[in-house]
Structure formats: C-alpha cells, structure tokens
Amino acid sequence: MKMTNRLLAVALTCGALAGAGESRASWMRDGKWGVMTHYLADWKAQTDHVPINIDEWNRLIDGFNVEALADQLQQAGASWYQISLGQNSGYYLAPNATYERITGEPGKCSRRDLVSDLYDALHKRSIRLAVYLPSGAPNKDEKAVAALHWRNGPFPNREFQTQWEAVIRDWSQRWGTKVSAWWFDGCYFPNSMYRSNTAPNFESFAAAARSGNPGAALAFNPGVVYRILSMTPHEDFTAGEIDKPDLVSVRRSTDGLMDGVQIQMLSFLGEKWGMGQPRFTADDVIRYSRKIWDTGGAVTWDVPVELDGKLPAAFVAQLTALSKSSGRK
C-alpha cells in the first residue's frame, strides 16, 4: 500500500523524533499514571452472568457510556486510559473487516466503534487513549484459530503473523492518531516468532501497529517478570506486567528509561485482573506507584469495570488519592 505524501511526511517526522523509544512514550513519564479496563465478552459472562452471543455483545457495546467513564477518569486525574480490544473469546469491541474476512465470522466485531467513541470523550478532557490486544489468536474460538493458522507455542507462526498484522493494520488505519499506544499481550516466544531477519518479525509487527499513527508508542509483553525489562528496540515502553507490585524491581535505569525505552508497570487494583474488590489500601497503591515514579517511570492500574463502562466507586476513590500524591502539575 502506497503512503500519501502527507502520511509519509508525518512518518518521517515521527521517525526522526522517535529514533529513541522515549520520544514516542515521553507523555507517560509526564503523566505518571493511567487506568486500564478489560471489557471482554467471556469475562462479563463470568462476572455479570450475561450470555455470549453476537446480539448480546452488540447490546453491551452500545450501552457502554463513554462520557460517564471519561468523567470519572478526569475527576480521578488519570492521564491515559487503556482498553482491551478483545482476547480469547473472539469478540472484539470495534469493527474490523479484515478479521471477519479471514475468520469467516461476521458479527463478532461489534457494530459500534467503541474506540473512536472513547477517543471523542477522552480527547476533550485531555486524556490519551491506548489499546490492548493479544499477540495470538483468540484461543477459545476454534474456527478463528484454524482460519488464522495459529499454533500456541514456540513456533514461527509466520502465516498467522502475516494475517494478524493485516488485522492490526486495519484497526490502526481506522483510528490513526486517536490511539496513542498499543500494548501487545502474550509475546511469550520472541525468539521463535519475532527475532528473525525477515518479516514477519518485531519490525513488521511494529510497522503494522504504527501504520495509522507513526507516533504511536508500543509495548510487547513477555508475561510476568518482576524485573522491568525491554523486549526489543521496536517498542517504546516496557509492558511491565506485574501481579505482585511489592516484588517489582527496576535496575540499571537512566532517566526513566530501561535500555532506551520508557519504564512502565502495569498491575491491577482488584483481587485479580479486571475483577473483585480492592486488594490494596490507597496508601499501598501510592507506595507501589511511587517506587516506579522515583525511577522516572509510569504506572497503569487495571480496574474492574461495570457493564455500562463505569468504574466502581471504591476504585475511583483509590485513583483520586493516587492523583493527589503524584505531584503532577
């Protein structure tokens, strides 16, 4: 696909500015902290006892109140918001014609473009938007797994990755600069899948995600590793998945950077990812966050979300306390 002159100019400008990872993700260091929510069909079936089917999924996405959520995030003081596009069920919260063509499963991508609507609500409140996507096929959808030619394990998965990059490219070009960052989960076998000299590899993976916005910051997640680290020069911030933030360590960092990319930790405030009551006190949340801030890093806290997209009051109170302690101007 040929770039327009305008897009090429943007790409060259962003490339020059973002030769080092900190340039694309420096807003994370400045903003200090953000919020993530997992809005997933199978999780909602588990926590809210709703059925999983195309009609119900569209009903849920249509009922997601972006303005109410954006108000909560603004009042709490969040600098960015990250939402899951989908995960294992095969249901996604934005249209993607490429995904439906490849899998032959029309309708599992919602009619409503929730990402674009979230951007509209967040942007007018000066809150950035990031998205979460697994790096593998939805493993509970056998038809999609077969169509995408996915094998879970240390395999090259070259045919899968070529198709998955096409899916990512579809979304990236749909949203353009609306999406400031991508967080890719499940990059558990980087030597097998992404470190080859020829595409598909980390470079082509990153290019697909940045095809709509060359300035988008990326992170590739190897799983829970208590020592913050970077996976590749093609990412801009550390994925930083941590389940026990008291165990996290940051070593050999320089001015908020780990091996040239922005330090970032992602952990959860509930009893587990996306679910439960608060497991920490507000003082704990502040202490764990400050440990990362003191290195020049940033923190994203995952919070459970209601069916209508709003955050439970107990978590909003913790986030508000965090904001007051951040010292952010």
In this structure, are residues 52 and 295 in contact, taking their beta carbons and an 8 Å threshold? no
Count CB-CB contacts under 10 A for residue 238. Answer: 30
Using the predicted structure, report yes or no on whether residue 165 has a pLDDT greater than 50. Answer: yes
Round the average pLDDT of the chain to a whole number and report it: 93
Which residue's structure tokens are 């209508």? 308
* Structure confidence at residue 6 (pLDDT): 39
Distance (Å, rounded) from C-alpha 189 to C-alpha 155? 8
User: Quick one: tokens of 57?
Assistant: 């999924």
> Looking at the predicted structure, is the pLDDT value of residue 7 above 70?
no
What are the boundaries of each domain within the chain?
Answer: 32-215+271-325
Task: Please tell me the CATH superfamily of domain 32-215+271-325, with its number.
Answer: Glycosidases (3.20.20.80)
* Backbone phi, psi, residue 96, to 5°: -155, 100
For residue 316, pLDDT over 70 is answered with yes
- By three-state DSSP, how is residue 104 classified? coil
pTM across the whole model:
0.93
Strands (E), 254-310: 257-258, 261-262, 264-268, 298-302
Q: Which residues contact 194 (CB under 8 A, 6 or more apart)?
A: 187, 200, 201, 202, 205, 220, 232
**Which pLDDT value is given to residue 329?**
58
The residue behind tokens 């999983």 is 52
* pLDDT number for residue 1: 37
Would you state the pLDDT for residue 9? 37
